[in-house]
Chains A and B, each alone.
Chain A
Amino acid sequence: MLLLIAFPIGSVIMQSLYAQHEQVIEIVENCGPFGCTKEAAVNTEATQELRDAQPLGRFVGLENYLNRGHLAVSELAEAWRLSDSWGDYGNRIMNLPFYSAIIFTLTFTFIVTPMAIGLGFAIAIAVNSASKVLRGPLIFVSLLPFIINPLVGSLVLFWMVDARGVLGHGLQWLTSDPDLSVKASTPLMWIMLMIYGVWHTAPFAFVVFYAGLQTVNQDTNEAAMIDGANRWQRVRYVTIPHIMPLVTFVALIQIMDNFRVFEPLVSFSAGAHATSLSYYIYSDLGGETRLLNSAAATSVLTIICVGILLSPVLVRTWRDFKRA
């Protein structure tokens, strides 16, 4: 099992250091009635031979990481030199594929996570105050957006906001702009993706918080009531401290899940407006030319990002473990 885990990571790092072979180019002399011309032609056979002999490609070291598709060091420096304001600089960075992917991924993660936690908490409080008969069906309905396959769930939403779908019509009616289309506008697409993200992840927060609410100590609650706390104060000073550990847990899981956002981008066909890191790898791997090396470099960078995101948690777990 460990082999299957460690092996792909090793393989990714290996691949990321290589690049595809360049095509073998020969100079061919064409002699016609009007004299001879020299032409460069691709020798397909030789190229194929070279590729078969060394399937990994040629060794290029760290070049894959530094080229335009990834860290783009030279492009960054040039953009810094040419741009006259921060806004301009930002625009130039958004044109570099790796940076636009990472910016979208981080924005998505850090906007969706708190909103989903907030919504989940609100639903949990509301369900908790509903009558016992209703709770079962309510939980059933709430689980739907979460259990559903992300690709399928986002497709369902996407069809509804299509300019010809029911929500699309609603939006056009609200803004009284009959040509409005979510597909065509980048900001709308981002908002749509984030709404989908909240819709998809809030149920998980809800379920965990709901379980936590069952264990709130009623004596403390009553004591607070006798001390004159009103309803809001009881939620603020009794319930929220009680479920605070759960909030950390949910936030951790959701940051991890949101960081790998991928399927909604496929089904929203949002490639032109927003790419996440996973989607960037996917589009490198798919398609006619499989850019394995480029994908591998992105993968390594993604793994590093995950490591950075998780490091505070890891350190804390390690400390707890030492103490225990």
Chain B
Amino acid sequence: MSVKARALPESLRFLLLAFLVLWVVLAAFPFLWTLWGSFKVEGDFFSKASWSLALTGDLTRVETGGSFTGEGYEGAWIQEEFWRSVLNTTIVCFCVVTISLTLSTLGGYALSRSNHNYAFWLLIIALMFRAMPPITLVSGYLLPFYEWNLWGRLSTTIVVLVAINQPFSLWMLTSFFRNIPKDLDESAMVDGCNRFQAFRHVIIPVMWPGVITTGLFSFLLAYNDFAVTAMLLEKDNQTMIPKIASFLGTTQTKGNVMFAVAAVISATAPLFVLILFFQRQIVSGLTAGAVKG
């Protein structure tokens, strides 16, 4: 009976379908539109005459000869040296993820196996950090960093980002390790392993799902951060996001808006790939906190 009873009436099914289509368009259309537009010239993408020029690309054909042009990308990557900030972003993200995962795997394992109940305080600190705008912290860092001459270095930024990220990833991994039964490492220790060997041979092989999820979120934090990197880095070692912001601020002359459009697409592409491969982990990470309370 259940299959037939649960089947939706035609009208409702149509309504839901229409709603879904609307949402998909809302979610995806801006990206597709910008991707398409990034291969045009400014006169087409920002057209006073008619919006359809962006589709047909009349001015692009007049100015460059072809229907698509890579000028925006060329200008952004080579002329404005966007590749340099891509490199910086890679360094920052890699370091932040490695350092914060190392610290929080070891710390999280220790916390989950200790008898004291740190969980509450950890949760509170993680919550506070989630709630506090990072920029309030940055304004506290700035003056001491000037004084100690630490300002404007990638390493400083990495340390700050790790610190901001740490409570959250520590909390996530602690609750993950709690779900690995204690019996597992206890039986290993009965078999003659010491604490470290138990961790090395028993826990490490089973911990990857949790570590990957936590790593993804650390990566997103480092990749998406604007407040910290914009304030703490100098012009010549900026990461991608502040670089895009500086495209906007300084140069609104002809053509340069298209550099920003191209840079935006370049910065989005890695995230696209990321969701494509790690959708399951992202979803499970987002819901993990909710299910546990």
Contacts and interface: CB of A to CB of B under 8 A. Distances in A.
A314 B128 CA distance: 10
Contact of A299 (B136, B224, B241): B136
Interface stretch (B57-65, B174-182, B192-200, B285-293): B285-293
Interface in B55-80: none
Given A147-B271, A211-B290, A267 B248 contact: yes
B51 A4 contact: no
A149 interface: yes
Given A127-B20, A148-B271, A225-B5, A15 B143 contact: yes
Nearest to B261: A159
Interface in A226-282: 231, 245-246, 249-250, 253, 256-257, 259-260, 262-263, 266-267, 269, 277-278, 281-282
A256 B131 CA distance: 5
Interface stretch (A39-47, A83-91, A92-100, A305-313): A305-313
B132 A317 contact: no
B190 interface: no
A207 B283 CA distance: 7
A156 B12 contact: no
A143 interface: yes
B227 A262 contact: yes
B274 A147 contact: yes
Contacts of B290: 208, 211-212, 246, 249-250
Interface stretch (A28-36, A58-66, A70-78, A134-142): A134-142
A188 interface: no
Contacts of B142: 285, 290, 292
Contacts of B95: none
Given A140-B275, A141-B27, A164-B48, A281 B163 contact: no
Contact of B27 (A144, A170, A310): A144
Contacts of A256: 127, 130-131
Given A140-B279, A148-B271, A310-B127, A126 B137 contact: no
A191 interface: no
Given A4-B159, A129-B16, A266-B245, A249 B289 contact: yes
B241 A12 contact: no
A31 B131 CA distance: 62
B205 interface: no
Looking at chain B, what size class is its interface with the partner chain? 35 or more
Nearest to A127: B20
B140 to A, nearest CB: 3
A207 to B, nearest CB: 5
Contact of A260 (B17, B133, B147): B133
Given A149-B224, A256-B130, A262-B133, A139 B291 contact: no
Contacts of A125: 16
Contacts of B150: none
Interface string A1-33: 100110111111001000000000000000000
B8 A129 contact: yes
A152 B220 CA distance: 13
B286 A208 contact: yes
Interface in B123-162: 123-125, 127-144, 146-147, 159-160
B6 to A, nearest CB: 9
Nearest to B271: A147
Of B139, B248, B291, the most chain A CB neighbours within 10 A belong to: B139
Interface residues of A, number: 94
A165 B51 contact: yes
Contacts of B220: 147
Of A157, A159, A253, A263, the most chain B CB neighbours within 10 A belong to: A159
Q: Say what secondary structure dominates the interface of chain A.
A: helix
Contact of A310 (B2, B50, B128): B128
Given A8-B141, A207-B286, A259 B275 contact: no
Contacts of A169: 50-51
B12 A231 contact: yes
A286 B286 CA distance: 34
A311 to B, nearest CB: 11
Nearest to B47: A164
A12 B139 contact: yes
Contacts of B135: 260, 262, 278, 281-282, 285, 299
Nearest to A203: B27
A214 to B, nearest CB: 10
Contacts of B124: 314, 317
A145 interface: yes
Interface in A110-164: 122-123, 125-127, 129-130, 136, 138-145, 147-153, 155-157, 159-160, 162, 164
Given A144-B31, A152-B268, 18 more contacts: A1-B103, A8-B141, A10-B140, A123-B23, A148-B268, A149-B226, A149-B267, A152-B244, A164-B48, A199-B26, A207-B287, A212-B290, A245-B293, A259-B131, A262-B227, A277-B133, A281-B133, A317-B127
11 contacts: A142-B24, A149-B271, A151-B241, A155-B260, A156-B30, A157-B30, A164-B47, A203-B27, A278-B135, A281-B135, A296-B140
